[in-house]
Each structure stands twice: as C-alpha cells, then as structure tokens.
Amino acid sequence: MKAVWTPTESFVQSTRLHRWMTQLGFDDYDDFFQASVQNIAWFWGEAEKALDIRWFKPYEKVVDLSRGNMWPKWYVRGKLNVTHNAVDKWLEDPRVRTRPAVVWEGEDGKVRSFTYEEIAVRVNRVANGLKKHGIRKGDRIALYMPMIPETVIAILAIIRIGAIFIPCFSGFPADAVAKRLEHAQTSMLMTADGFLRRGKPVRMKEEASKACDRVDSVQKLIVVRHLKLDIPWHPERDTDWLELESGQPDCPCEVTSGDDPFMIIYTSGTTGKPKGAVHTHNGFALKSAFDAGFGMDVKPGDVMCWLTDMGWMMGPFLVFATLFNGATMVIYEGTPNFPTPDRLWKLASDHSLTHLGVSPTLIRSLMPHGADLAHKHDLSTLKAIASTGEPWNSEPWHWLFRDVGNNRIPIINYSGGTEISGGILGNVLVKPIAPASFNAPLPGMDADVFNAEGQPVRGEVGELVIKQPWVGMTNGFWQEPARYENTYWSRWKGTWVHGDWAVRDENDFWVITGRSDDTLNIAGKRLGPAEMESVLVDHPAVLEAATVGIPDDIKGEVAVCFVVLQPDCQPAQHLGEELVQWVTDRMGKALRPKTVHFVADLPKTRNAKIVRRAIRAAYLGESAGDLTSLDNPQAVEAIRQLGHTTK
C-alpha cells in the first residue's frame, strides 16, 4: 500500500502532536509510540497534563493494575468532574469564554449559538432544576433526545451534580428505550416532542411516555417542546424543560472520584440483550479529547461537526472532543442530503468547519451527485475529514480525497468503539496516509494483529487486539462484570480481543476488513465480508453491498451478497449473473458467491453501520437478536422474505 498524502515539514511542525512529542524528547512518531506503550503510566500521566485536566484532588498514582488488565484503576484517588473540565475552566480564559461552544443547525436552516459563558449559565440552571427534582449523585437519567443544544446542556448538567447519563438513540421505539431504562433502573427520562427528518416531524414524546409506563423506577419525564407539537401530557409525571431550566444560575460542581461513573452507553449485543458500557469521570472524556486534540489536531478555536446521533458513541465523543479542547461543536439535526444533495458541503462552508466527521456510506450516497456540488461551497477552512463506523472501499475514498478535497484535505480513518471511548487505530497527521487505511495505532494503544494461535502476524488477516489497558477503557458492563470479561478477555489472558479482523502490511499501514464475528470461511479460506463488498461496490451499477456466509454442504460456507443498485439501474437476472462473475473474476473461483440479491435497502444503525448478523439471520429464518438500534428494521423483513422465496 502506498501513501497518497504526505504532510510537509512545516505542516508536521504545526501539529499539536509534533509539538508535544518534541517537548517530551521525540522527533519520530514511531519512537514516541513505542515509548507510549512501553510505559503506560508515564504516557497517560503526560497525556492528562497535555490536556490541562483540572483536579479537585491530585491523584496519587497514574495506574493500579493489581486486579489485572481487565480492571485497571486510573489516576488513583484523584478527584475531578468532567463538566468542570469541559466548561468551568474555560471561563477563566477571556479568549475562550466568549467563543461559541455549541452551534446548532436544524434541517429547516435555523441556527442557534451559545458561548462557553452562556452554556455555563444554562448548565447551572438545569443542574439546580435536577436537584430540585431530587436527583442526586449516582442517580441514572436517560436522554432520548434529538441533536439539539438542550441535549448537550442536559448531559453537562447531569454530570455536574454527579449523576449518570444514559444516551438513547433518537430513533428508538418505546420498547428499546424501556429496556435501557429498566436495565439501569433509571429515575428520570428526558425527551423532546419531536424532531425534523426530511422535512417531516418525527414524534418522540409518545414513545417516551410509553417507555415510562413500562418502567416503575422512572418518576419524571422532562420534555423539550422543540417543534411545538400538540402532545399528550401526564401532569403528575411530565415536566416542561423550561421549568427545569428556571433554576439559579450558580451550581457548584460535585467533587467526584475519577472512577465514579458518569455515563452508561448501550451497545447492541448478538444475544438479544444490549450491553451497558460503564464510563467514568477519568476515562471517556479524556480519551475522546486526547484523540481529537492529538490524533486529529483539534485546537482551541477549531470547529468540528460529526454527523451522528447522541445515542451512538460519536455523539458524546463530539461533546468532549470539542469542549475539552476549547473548540466549537456544530450539531446538525436532520438529514445531511436534504433538501438538496449539497447540504453537507453547505453546512461545512456556512460554519467554517475545520473538522468534519462522516461515514463511507454517506460519501457513497453523495458520489452520484458529483464533486461540483462540493466546489460550489468554500471548504478552505477544512483541515481534516474524519471517518468512522465501517470500512472504506477504494472508489469513494479516492473520490472524497481527490475530487472533493483536491488532494489537499487528509482523511482521518478512525476506528475503535463504544467500549474504547475513541480510537484504536487512526491516521496521525505527522505520517503519510494511504487510501482506505490507517497509518498507526493512536498513542498509548498497544494494538497488534494475532493469528489463531495468539501470535503477532504481518501481511495476513488476524484478530485486532490490544495488549495493555488504556485511559477510557470501559469499566465493565453495568451490573454484568462476567459478561464484560467473557466478551473481550476470554480468548488470550490479559489481551483485549476487539472483534475486528485486521491486517498490517509491509509498509506498516493497517486495514480493518470487517468484524471477526461476520467472517466467512469458504472451503477453509477466511474472508472478511468488506473485501467482497468492496469489489461489488466498484461495479458501476452498485451503490452499496453486504456479504454474509450461509451453510453449504460442499464448502462449509458460501457467500450470499445483497446489493443496492445505483438510482439509474434496474434489477435484472442478467445483472445478478454479471455481478457474480464480476466478483469471481476479481477474487477467484473458490470465493465465487452463490447468488446476488437486489434489495432496496440494507439494515443499518443510525450511524450507518450495516448489521450483517441481522441480514444473515433474516435470510436463514433465524432470530436476529437485538435490532432496536436499526434505523430501518423494514429492511430486515424484506431480506427475510427473500430467504423464504429462495428456499
């Protein structure tokens, strides 16, 4: 693999990462990285200082591993509060306090902006309102809210008083919300009347009320009247957000221990039961801020937008990536290609974004409209485009880099997860970047690729692992420590097995080929589905593709492909046969797909991850487990019908 973007010497020297490395005595990133994993206590001690973390009580030791790698204790006996570091400390800096902290744009074009000073006052008022309603340290409050400023304010207010917030995907039905409320024994739910999606209101209050009806622990439902919809009202339980926000403008921060939880964020499990990843005051926010500041070069005054939902990991990531670094977050409520396909590029131009977070799926959907739509807008402030959630294939990556970015804007491929608090692998800006890949593990992340025997390998696909703990590692699953240990630590002693297939080439570029639990094994040949999907998407008729393995009497398993066609293409038998041959010609007869099915849509989460386990289970007529995170569950039923008609 060869690099297509190489930083100039002056660019390298301008980055926060390079300046920090040289302060610590390193000129070369690879040497610095090795030092970061050879002495994790030294490294993470330096990292919190570089982020200017403010402590109410200094820690006595950076890390305690007396319980092993699975249960590290970071910044031992130190006391701090995430909101104090996100907001309060900046009020001391006249350059930052009047800077926009949160900028919101709605799908209808409305914009609201709040400085650090203004956010501080509103956070304090809501924090006092929460106390008035009996919320105390350790209580759990769920957020079932759209991407609006009140969501950010609520998060910071909950954290301020030592309570724990639980973000829920804004597209969940009542049942999915109720599962999370019940599991965490939540005492309060916050929601909105609704939000706009493609110009139409999506109602939330009714679903929130149904969820509360099913969970005895929920005493209060707070409602933001965002769209001013006519909504049902439960006078004993429901409270208007404006009443909550009418408290006094001063509220001291709760002094919390570093290992006190501040967030439980649920991820879908394959067994039908979501996993509640626990994150602490000295973990998630520090890791997110570090990755943004030193992995993506987010500096004070920069402006970052990530197309996501607060119910997914990149929502909270955006909050702390910006505020911990004295930057501005832009949150967008709506669809990024509505009402016109250039909405994303207009958003970037209107807000002078320096950092834009996207998904490969979004870029693939914009490609047919051409790069000229992007060039209508001023993208000169963009320093980096970041991508996460799924592997790239070659054509859309090159289109974004070459045609949209004019070979100027680096694409930061970023992969980690909810339980990581950020990234394992990234594209650090002091090294060259190759297409659709990663140029390094992030500092402090002792990543490797293991074969089936647990040995490091180069040039072949293996399990992505992490050999030492890091700041931000989940502090287990809520009330399920054994499930956490079994999920990540049961294969090789003391080693985190992430569940991704990866390969590291001779030039030290890394590629993630897919989830290891999605892996196909065709006649003994192991294949990450993304590899075949990438071949399919390279065909001019194909917009999106997903590949799963199904049982076969001869080969043990064969590939079945599901394809979404370009808008100007129609399904036809001859095209299906052509695509089977297209893959065969490029991957060999041994990996020839059994068939290609045409579908209108692929099952995806709101952050655009294709859920292959749901595709496979539906096609085979099996239970697909927990599907509450899907943005389009109807796509699963369509595939289930395909499976019935094929048999």
Tokens of 36: 């970061």
Per-residue pLDDT tens digits for 48-71: 999 999 999 999 999 999 999 999
By the 10 Å C-beta count (0-12 exposed, 13-18 middle, 19+ buried), 110 is classed as: exposed
Distance (Å, rounded) from C-alpha 470 to C-alpha 58?
Answer: 19
pLDDT at residue 461 greater than cutoff 70: yes
Distance (Å, rounded) from C-alpha 500 to C-alpha 462?
Answer: 8
Distance (Å, rounded) from C-alpha 467 to C-alpha 68?
Answer: 12
Distance (Å, rounded) from C-alpha 148 to C-alpha 192?
Answer: 10
DSSP structure class, residue 312: S
Per-residue pLDDT tens digits for 142-181: 999 999 999 999 999 999 999 999 999 898 888 889 989 9
Report domain extents, the chain. Answer: 516-646
Tokens of 523: 């006649």
pLDDT at residue 643 greater than cutoff 80: yes
**How high is the pLDDT of residue 524?**
64
List Cβ neighbours of 503 (8 Å cut-off, separation of 6 or more).
449, 459, 460, 461, 462, 510, 511, 513
Give helix then strand counts, H and E, for the chain: 22, 32
pLDDT at residue 416 greater than cutoff 80: yes
Per-residue pLDDT tens digits for 475-495: 999 999 999 999 999 999 999
Neighbours of 375 (CB within 10 A): 14
pLDDT at residue 90 greater than cutoff 90: yes
**How high is the pLDDT of residue 344?**
98
pTM: 0.87
pLDDT at residue 269 greater than cutoff 60: no
3-state SS of the chain: helix, strand, coil percent to 5? 35, 25, 40
Share of the chain above pLDDT 70, in %: 98
Instruction: Give, for 531, the enclosing helix (H) or strand (E).
Output: helix 529-537
| Average pLDDT in the chain | 94
Section 599-625 average pLDDT? 87
**How high is the pLDDT of residue 270?**
43
* CATH classification code of 516-646: 3.30.300.30
| 449 touches 465 (CB < 8 A) | yes
**How high is the pLDDT of residue 483?**
93
| 251 touches 127 (CB < 8 A) | yes
Measured in whole angstroms, the distance separating CA 74 from the mean position of its chain's CA atoms is 23
DSSP structure class, residue 477: B
Per-residue pLDDT tens digits for 201-241: 999 999 999 999 999 999 999 999 999 999 999 999 999 99
Distance (Å, rounded) from C-alpha 494 to C-alpha 21?
Answer: 29
**How high is the pLDDT of residue 325?**
99
Rounded to 5 degrees, what are φ and ψ at 127? Answer: -60, -45
Distance (Å, rounded) from C-alpha 262 to C-alpha 489?
Answer: 24
**How high is the pLDDT of residue 346?**
98
pLDDT at residue 19 greater than cutoff 90: yes
